[in-house]
Amino acid sequence: MSQELITVTSPLLPSLDELTPLLKDIWNRHWLTNNGHYHQELEKALAEYLGVEYISLFTNGTLPLITALQAMRITGEVITTPYSFVATTHSIWWNGLTPVFVDVDPATGNLDPQKIEEAITPKTTAIMPVHVYGNPCDIEAIQEIADRYGLAVIYDAAHAFNVKVNGRTILDAGDMNTLSFHATKTYNTVEGGALICHDARTKKRIDYLKNFGFAGETTVVAPGINSKMDEIRSAYGLCNLKHIDEAIAARKKVAQKYRAALANIAGITLFAERDDVTYNYSYFPIFVNEKEYGMSRDALYAKMKEHNVLGRRYFYPLISDFAMYRGLPSATKTNLPVATRMANEVICLPMHAGLSDEDVERVLKIVITKE
Ligand SMILES: *Cc1c(COP(=O)(O)O)cnc(C)c1O
């Protein structure tokens, strides 16, 4: 009797017909990793597609965060958001730095610039914001604060693949930007990621750091990590790039249907869309106010599951609530009231290019009827 499962995400896959000749070519070349042909091709293709000049591929989306902090020699305290995927804060921890959590703006889910300024101490050296769900941060306000206090800005742009403001990429904001190409993201290379910077010298240093710090056959210039993307995933990524516009267009249709149907449901709020932003529709978060909606977020989440529809409480719990961070002075709930509320109210609805009209209807019926 139970209906077919509707998953939250579903990976964008290249066609096997497209991928196979590239794989054959890799077999012929006998070159599997270490800045091979397809690695170089994908870097070029992504730079062009995203409208950025300097991009380095990585083996996932976490190591570029860790490496960005290394490359910029960040010390002391890094101001960041608790309302993100745990990798954001983990990257700070892996560098032996202290994360300082700051509350978010309820209109976007992103770091509140005014609260960033209030959290700055003599030990602060960097800000690590996240464009959560692909909603652009207040880039100008953040840069103004960074410039005034002499801080680096490293954006975790894992959700912001090809997001633009007024037709211009946001992936050139701040000092560095990271991307994730994990299978659950809008664009994927199975696992993968990238680090974007502003000049050739910095890219060179990043490329040393992702290859153990090697700057030549016998020279190691830093305690680098191994985070090179291999040829197979680079080729896969090249194929997927051909389908990304189509996939984003399909996501946009789903988002429009959700938005139209949920605009006036008591107790359900959505983020407003800005006219000047080109979104990638990576997620569709809704916020459930238990009192007004007449049902708790967790009850709705369970109700969806009963119907074989998977939502995701993304981001819940807050990063600042995990055992390794909750003892930090900035992790208290009183410091983070907006993020705390959002984490308790959020459900991300199913969002991917494979959702049919019937799938969207099924999801909406549950949210609207609560049955
Ligand atoms: C997915 C994600 C990451 C980590 O990327 P991986 O490729 O899974 O390592 C980092 N930050 C955010 C905000 C993410 O959503």
Question: Quick check: CB of 178 below 6 Å from ligand 1?
Answer: no
- Do 250 and 80 touch, CB atoms closer than 8 A? no
CA distance 369 to 67: 47
pLDDT tens-digit readout, 55-109: 999 999 999 999 999 999 999 999 999 999 999 999 999 999 999 999 999 999 9
Residues 160 and 25 sit within 8 Å (Cβ to Cβ): no
| Ligand 1 lined by 88 (C-beta under 6 Å) | yes
- Cα-Cα-Cα-Cα dihedral sign, residues 212, 218, 57, 195: positive
CB 88 within 8 Å of CB 65: yes
Could you tell me the distance, in angstroms and rounded to a whole number, from the CA of residue 62 to the centre of ligand 1? 6
- Give the contacts of 222 (CB within 8 A, at least 6 positions apart): 70, 208, 209, 213
CATH of domain 244-369: 3.90.1150.10
Q: Smallest Cα–Cα separation from 325: which of 6, 15, 97?
A: 97
pLDDT in tens, 198-217: 999 999 999 999 999 999 99
- Tokens at 64, concatenated: 């570029």
Residue 60 CB less than 6 A away from ligand 1:
yes
Interval between CA 101 and ligand 1 midpoint (Å): 18
CA of 185 to the centre of ligand 1 (A): 9
Write the residue with the smallest CA distance to atom 2 of ligand 1. 158
What's the pLDDT tens digit per position in 239-282? Answer: 999 999 999 999 999 999 999 999 999 999 999 999 999 999 99
CA of 199 to the centre of ligand 1 (A): 24
User: Which CATH class for the 16-241 domain?
Assistant: alpha beta
Q: Which atom in ligand 1 lies closest to the alpha carbon of residue 62?
A: 9
* 338 half-sphere exposure, CB direction, 13 A CA radius: 15
Report helix, strand or coil for 78.
strand
Paired tokens of 336: 């983070």
330, 101 in Cβ contact below 8 A? yes
In 10-137 the beta strands, taken as DSSP E runs, fall at 54-58, 77-80, 98-101, 124-128
Expressed in angstroms and rounded, the spacing between residue 316 Cα and the centre of ligand 1 is 15
User: Percentage of the chain surpassing pLDDT 90?
Assistant: 99
The predicted-structure confidence for 137-175, as pLDDT tens digits, reads as follows 999 999 999 999 999 999 999 999 999 999 999 999 999
- What ranges do the domains of the chain cover? 16-241, 244-369
Q: Supply the residue whose CA is at minimum distance from atom 7 of ligand 1.
A: 61
193-197 and 124-128 as β-strands: parallel, antiparallel, unpaired? unpaired
3 state SS of 333: helix
Average pLDDT, the chain: 97
